[in-house]
Structure 1
Amino acid sequence: MGSEHMQIGEVAARTELSLRTIRHYEETGLVIPSARSQGGFRLYAETDVARLMVIRRMKPLGFTLEQMRDLLAATDRLDSREELSVEEREEALKPVRDFEQLAAERVADLRTQLARAEEFAATLREHLAPVPHS
Structure 2
Amino acid sequence: MPAYETVLKNKDASAQELAQAVAALIEAGTDSAVLLFMAVESDNLPAVKMLMEAGANPTLVVANEQNAVSLAINEEKWEILDYLMTRDFNRTMLFEGISELSPSMIDYLEGKYIKVPHELKNGEDLDWINQIN
Instruction: Note whether the superposition's TM-score is higher than 0.5.
Output: no
Shorter-normalised TM range: under 0.3
Decide which structure has greater helix share: 1
Decide which structure has greater strand share: 1
Larger radius of gyration: 1
